[in-house]
Amino acid sequence: MAGIRNSRILQPILFLFAVCIVSLPAQAADVNDSDIRAAGGASTYVFVPNQSTVVQTGGIAGVHWVYSIEGKFQLSVDPNAPNSGIASFIYVDANATDDSPYRRTLDPNEVFNMTELVGTVIGDTIIVFMGKADDGSDVLIIAFLNDDLVYLVGQTFPPASSADFFIFSLNAVAQRKYGGGTGEPNDPYQIATAEDLMLLGETPEDYDKHFILTADIDLDPNLPGRRIFDRAVIAPDVNDAEHWFQGSPFTGTFDGDNHTISHLTITGGGDLGLFGRTGSGAKISNLGLEAVDVNGTGWCVGGLVGWNFGSITTSYSTGSVSGGYCVGGLVGHNSEGSITSCYSTGTVSGKDSVGGLVGESCGVPAPSIITASYSTGSVIGDDDVGGLVGSNGGWFGMGSITNSYSTGAVSGDRSVGGLVGRNLEDKGSITSSFWDIQTSGQTESAGGVGKATNEMQTAGTFLDAGWDFVGETANGTEDIWWILEGKDYPRLWWEAHN
């Protein structure tokens, strides 16, 4: 019986192989030998609209219904398993609907029992999945991998003794989501291209997921497929008519992995930056923004984040940022957020609460924190203008600045300071932080200590204030800062390793 059964299944397999190879688009034949290896691990794929169908035929009535598939699935591939590689559908979240007045629907996973199928890797680009459906039918699905696409062709085979069984056929194309990964902590979505980055921005349901940048990305609007954005790329405000943020904040994790995003260009209203708004729990790290050109007319404008409720570490921004209120080279408004080991060198301009690194920093009930960070760009504004931070602390929030400095030229009309423009007493704290009174053009600040350029380029100035430098242990062993004595200002440890 086993021989008869295997023979019966093998014939349709060979037939489907022939049909599939002939019917696939021409580009599918030009496959990359590393496709299976590149898909090693798990990736999320999205069914391509208008190219993915399930056909239901058979039954006593002789039906022929065509369903269009929408949704996604995760495919796990282990090409290095013993003998031939193995693969599986980790999950399938998809729905198939026909265009009849009845709007019949199917769940592709239930019809083909996809998550229970056993996949065998054949060669470099083909996976064969076999198993049984819940109604007793044999199931065969063949997946052809071609770069970021998967072509799926499948069939169910009713038992020989069945009298009124339906037959289901699958013909679908799925696009790998982002550059790979599943969005989980141990397998983040991979952002490798400008298209991946913009797709993330257009997918709010993924804002709580984990991402990693796997290549430098140039967003120059003069390049094909790029543009001048009119709002934040990720987590934008989607309704300019309302005074408050109307959108979904980013609450996930974005690890730049020491890569850069360059030439981000935005001309819009408020909540501007690569991220419009980050929520509590958001984490951004190891990311460089170079040559940004962000121009806003409203509140909360920054190179990296417009309004930050999360944590930002080991990241930087260069270029120019302009806006109305709460404008900063890195972050516009830091609200209960933390900024650690970051810097900005860009020029910043605005009306109120304008800072080289952060426009305004205050949080309730937890204070907003800025530590071990610096800014060097020029800052121009009207009120509350500071080399590092425009205003620290507020009537309804607290702000803390420690072990930070600024060197950029600062100018404004009211509440102007070399380090901080305004620091609300009992709400804002500033400790062990400095500004250069010569390069800033400011001899006063709402907080911090002003020093001459030669003092700002002397390690002792900062060591006496408790800063932790590479090569000393009296102030700690984390080695946060390093300096070229007498030639430069302190730099963050990670700058020497990039």
Give the model confidence (pLDDT) of 135-156 as tens digits. Answer: 899 999 999 998 889 999 999 9
Q: Which residues contact 201 (CB under 8 A, 6 or more apart)?
A: 232, 233, 234, 235, 236
Does 116 map to a domain?
Answer: yes
Q: What's the mean pLDDT when you consider all of the chain?
A: 90
Per-residue pLDDT averaged across 96-110, rounded?
A: 94
- pLDDT of res. 35: 54
- Which token pair is 209? 């997921």
The residue written with tokens 């298209």 in the block is: 195
Same domain membership, residue 399 and residue 266: yes
pLDDT of residue 127: 93
Considering the domain architecture, whether residues 156 and 24 belong to the same structural domain is answered as yes
Q: Which two tokens stand for residue 62?
A: 């002789």
Domain annotation covers residue 159:
yes
**CATH assignment of the domain containing 404:** 2.160.20.110
- Please state the domain count of the chain: 2
Contact 431, 401 (CB under 8 A): yes
Percentage of residues in the chain having pLDDT higher than 70: 90
Residue among 443, 438, 442 at smallest CA distance from 457: 438
- pLDDT at 84 exceeding the cut of 80: no
Q: What pLDDT, on a 0 to 100 scale, did the predictor assign at position 92? A: 97
pLDDT in tens, 434-476: 999 999 999 999 999 999 999 999 999 999 999 999 999 999 9
In a domain, 183, yes or no: no
Task: Show the tokens assigned to 491.
Answer: 């730099």
Per the CB < 8 A criterion, the answer to whether 382 and 412 are in contact is yes
Dihedral over alpha carbons 239, 242, 245, 246 (to 10 degrees): -40
User: Pairing mode, if any, of strands 481-482 and 491-492?
Assistant: antiparallel
Residue 82 has pLDDT above 60, yes or no: no
Predicted confidence (pLDDT) per residue in 158-194, tens digit: 988 777 788 999 999 999 999 999 999 999 999 999 9
Q: Final residue of a domain: which of 176, 207, 224?
A: 176
What is the percent of the chain where pLDDT is above 90? Answer: 79
What average pLDDT does the segment 69-87 reach? 82
Confidence of residue 425 (pLDDT cuts 50, 70, 90): confident
Which residues have a Cβ under 8 Å from the Cβ of 237 and sit 6 or more positions away?
231, 245, 246, 247, 269, 270, 271, 276, 277
Which residue among 176, 207, 227 closes a domain? 176
- pLDDT at residue 36, as a whole number: 52
* Residue-number span of the structural domain to which 134 is assigned: 2-176
Q: Which of 176, 210, 230 is the last residue of a domain?
A: 176
Higher pLDDT residue, 390 or 30? 390
Residue 307 has a pLDDT of: 97
- Is residue 5 pLDDT above 80, yes or no? no
Q: What is the arithmetic mean of pLDDT over 103-127?
A: 92
Question: pLDDT of 6-59, one tens digit each?
Answer: 334 444 444 544 444 444 443 333 334 345 545 557 899 999 989 999 999 987
Cα–Cα distance measured from residue 179 to residue 249, given in angstroms and rounded to the nearest whole number: 22
The answer on 335 and 468 residing in a single domain is: yes
Read off the CATH number of the domain in which 135 is found.
Answer: 2.40.160
Asked if the structure places residue 182 within a domain, the reply is no
Lowest mean pLDDT across 49-63, 87-101, 184-198, 338-352: 49-63
Q: In terms of domains, do 114 and 204 share one?
A: no
Q: Token pair for residue 155? A: 């069939």
Token pair listed for 357: 């690194």
What sign has the CA pseudo-torsion 455, 457, 460, 461? Answer: positive
Average pLDDT of the residues in 231-246: 89
Supply the pLDDT for residue 30: 39
Let me know whether 158 and 284 are in one domain.
no
**How many Å apart are CA 160 and CA 384, to the nearest integer?**
81
- pLDDT tens column, 245-300: 899 999 999 999 999 999 999 999 999 999 999 999 999 999 999 999 999 999 99
Total-model pTM: 0.88
